Amino acid sequence: MLARELVRRGTSVQFVQAPADVRRTRTDPGNWWRHLRRAHWAPAAPGVRVTERSTLLPGSRGGRAERLDAATLRGFLRRSGWEQDLTVVMLPWEWRATRALGGRVVFDCTDDWARLLPGARGLPDQLRRIADEADEVVVVNEVLADLFPGRDPVVVPNGTDEALVCAPQTVERAERSAVYVGSIAARFDVDLVRAVLRALPDWTLDVHGQLVFPQRERHAARRFLSLEQEFPGRFRYRGLVPRDQLAEVLDAATVALVPDVASRAWGQSSMKTYDYCSRGLPVISTAGHLEHSSDVPPHTYFITGPAKMAAAMQAATDEPVSWAKERVDWATARTWDRRTDAWLDAMLG
């Protein structure tokens, strides 16, 4: 959404994906070698070009891996003719590669990486280096500011798109139907969802999104997918949903869930909560990022444990009609055409 707004304002965007490490040679060696030394750009949307990248070891593995990946990334950018007025870095272990870059270099922090990736090594040193060297640090939630000692980062929360807010309602809400839309990783609380579905045998849950489990957490992906066998017809994994169909998906649900493992969700500002509110849906969230943020949707249900989530889902069916309008109004004030101004002000200084 941010890239789309930048293009609309006349700025082209080049996006380098997170790298595939050497294990990719087992399944796709040709593509891995092709993207090791330089970029091969492909159009992803009008004004946006994307390239894959390859590396030997993930830079999050520790000091030696970080230095090796940084050297690989520096060579990759140099051979790709990377000459940008603004470079935005999102992975802390990639920061070391930016020292020789021209133009303005900014770090955009969208997660507490130590909680998201407990196995990552060297993060405190990486974040201190970023705090010392970055032209600007932008965080998506103010609670992340403390990760950058000596800096006062700019806070730019997430948002939704105006088209979703304005889309007409074409379907009726189903009774006792929950929905989740977003990336699905190890912080999706499978045990919580299982217990809730057992406690509410007349409810269904439709999950839409991409599976983004790393290789080392394939068991977590299997646990997630096993819910379909445990609750046939009641838990349905639908895969990715196109943005132009999202309004219909959300409008068909009774409530929207954010069932994160709280210890791995702290410091987020998830786009899903803004999307949910754009259609007036009750938002039921585990403890984590939302309740520590100054940008909390109105009438959000915060829960700890399956019993409280089940009770909140049932309570949401009887809430005042005016609450839905308050959520829509909140989301309308937080569309990406508005957020982009603050983001650009921070990025361009």
Tens of pLDDT along 59-104?
A: 999 999 999 999 999 999 999 999 999 999 999 999 999 988 999 9
Question: Do residues 295 and 224 lie in contact, with contact meaning Cβ atoms separated by under 8 Å?
Answer: no
Say yes or no to pLDDT of 207 above 70.
Answer: yes
- What mean pLDDT do residues 40-51 have? 96
- What mean pLDDT do residues 39-44 have? 97
The whole-number pLDDT of residue 291 equals 62
Say yes or no to pLDDT of 118 above 90.
Answer: no
Q: How far is CA 298 from the centre of its chain?
A: 21
Say yes or no to pLDDT of 51 above 90.
Answer: yes
The whole-number pLDDT of residue 106 equals 97
User: In this predicted model, what pLDDT tens digit does every residue of 282-300 receive, in sequence order?
Assistant: 999 987 656 666 678 999 9
User: In this predicted model, what pLDDT tens digit does every residue of 217-235 receive, in sequence order?
Assistant: 889 999 999 999 999 999 9
pTM of the model: 0.90
- What mean pLDDT do residues 156-178 have? 95
Q: CA of 290: how far to CAs of 112, 242, 245, 272, 297, in Å?
A: 14, 25, 26, 12, 8
Say yes or no to pLDDT of 58 above 70.
Answer: yes
- What mean pLDDT do residues 196-224 have? 92
The whole-number pLDDT of residue 217 equals 81
The whole-number pLDDT of residue 155 equals 93
Say yes or no to pLDDT of 267 above 90.
Answer: no
Burial of 47 (0-12, 13-18, 19+ CB in 10 A): middle
Q: CA of 111: how far to CAs of 73, 257, 258, in Å?
A: 22, 19, 16
d(CA 166, CA 187): 31
Tokens of 147: 């990760």
The whole-number pLDDT of residue 283 equals 96
d(CA 201, CA 234): 9
The whole-number pLDDT of residue 290 equals 63
Residue with tokens 């950058």, as numbered in its chain: 148
The whole-number pLDDT of residue 119 equals 82
